[in-house]
Each structure stands twice: as C-alpha cells, then as structure tokens.
C-alpha cells in the first residue's frame, strides 16, 4: 500500500528587521506583535488538521513561529540548521537600500538572476537548495505517511517549492509572493507530489 504524506511548508512571522527592510539571513531579530499574531492565526487555522511532527530552522524567529503554531499540542519540534535562511555574508543586518547602493550588480542578481548571486562569505542559492532539498527528502523518507510541518524562511520556501514545481532558478522569485506565515501544502503519493496550496494567507485576520 502506498502511503500519502502531507507536507506543510511555512515561512516565519513578521520580524523587526522585516519592517526595517534589513537582511537577516543567518542573523536574527524578534517577531513583531503582528508576526506573533500571524503565527497564532495559522495555528488557529491548523488546529483541527493532523500534524505529526514539526521541523524548524534553528533560527529563533522560526522556532518561535513553530511553537505558536503548535500551541499546546503534544507535537515534537526538531531544529535543523539545514532549514536556515540563506547566509548573506557581509550583507547581514544591513538595509536593502544600503546594499543596493554598495553592491548594485549583486543586488540585481539576487532578485533577477539568483544563480549568479554571491557576496563575500555568503552562500549561493544553489548551496541553499542543495542543503534544504536534501533535508526535505530526508524528512519525507523518515516520516512517510505522516503529516509534516516545516517552518523556515523565504529563500528556503522558494527553493523547496521550486523543487516540487521543477521551477528553474532563474524564475525563483516569480509569484506567488511568500508572505510571513504563508502556507504551502504538498501531498505526496506514489512519488508524485501535488501542490494543494502555495503561499496561502487565507488565515490572516487583518
């Protein structure tokens, strides 16, 4: 019998640095009040859905989001460095406008030709895809037939969904937009993946 595995992929809630348009990467900033609410709204909308296991990036903003979605349910949360955001090297903690001025070509690559992006001490998009997709496949193999929630970051959501869509890296940033706590749902059966939701924010209450 072939088992049906359900994977939910979620971005963390809004953070302080999101509001300031600062690049976070491996660095972190706390969830805003709205970010906390976004995670709670998603938790409310998923409270009657079966979730067997949660995997979160090891960043504080994703762990906090995962805990808020879980609420008081007895679901294990596993931390994973492989689900962390792209390491942005010397850009981390700086405002987007600032790096657009200081590295115009790389800023353009980041958004319009991700395959070419690289700054000092950063990861490439391909390196992120390699580690994140490897972890995804490991999680799916380990929890076959289960309902899995993955809480991660924008670039990781994009590369994981690109994996399911066969989307070329060049088109990575095309819609849908990955809002804070947006929900993607993939159902895997007989090695076929069906995307049921992609970047859904119908749980938002304001």
Write out the DSSP string of 55-122. EEESSHHHHHHHHHHHTT----EEEEGGGSPPPBGGGTTSBHHHHHHH-HHHHHHHHH-GGG---TTB
As a whole number of angstroms, the distance between CA 140 and CA 181 comes to 21
Three-state secondary structure call for residue 24: coil
As a whole number of angstroms, the distance between CA 143 and CA 5 comes to 8
Q: Which of 12, 103, 153, 198 is catalytic?
A: 12
Pairing of strands 147-152, 53-57: parallel
Q: Which of 85, 92, 123, 198 is catalytic?
A: 85
As a whole number of angstroms, the distance between CA 109 and CA 205 comes to 35
Helix or strand holding residue 136 (H, E):
helix 125-142
As a whole number of angstroms, the distance between CA 206 and CA 184 comes to 20
Strands of 53-57's sheet, edge to edge?
77-80, 53-57, 147-152, 4-11, 183-189, 192-200
Known catalytic membership, residue 85: yes
Known catalytic membership, residue 21: no
Sign of CA dihedral 103, 35, 197, 123: positive
Looking at the annotation, which residues are catalytic?
12, 85
């Amino acid at each position: 019998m072939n088992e049906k595995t359900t994977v939910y992929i979620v971005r963390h809630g809004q953070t302080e640095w999101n509001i300031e348009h600062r690049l976070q990467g491996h660095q972190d900033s706390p969830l805003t009040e709205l970010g906390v609410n976004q995670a709670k709204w998603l938790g409310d909308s998923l409270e009657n859905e079966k979730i067997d296991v949660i995997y979160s990036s090891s960043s504080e903003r994703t762990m906090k989001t995962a805990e808020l979605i879980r609420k008081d349910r007895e679901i294990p949360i596993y931390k994973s460095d492989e689900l962390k955001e792209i390491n942005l090297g010397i850009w981390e903690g700086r405002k987007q406008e600032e790096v657009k001025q200081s590295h115009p070509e790389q800023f353009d690559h980041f958004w319009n030709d991700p395959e070419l992006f690289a700054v000092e001490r950063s990861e490439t998009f391909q390196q992120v895809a390699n580690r994140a997709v490897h972890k995804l496949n490991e999680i799916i193999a380990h929890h076959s037939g289960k309902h899995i929630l993955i809480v991660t970051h924008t670039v990781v959501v994009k590369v994981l969904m690109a994996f399911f869509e066969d989307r070329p890296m060049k088109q990575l940033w095309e819609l849908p937009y990955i809002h804070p706590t947006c929900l993607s749902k993939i159902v895997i059966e007989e090695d076929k993946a069906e995307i049921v939701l992609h970047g859904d924010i119908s749980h938002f209450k304001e």
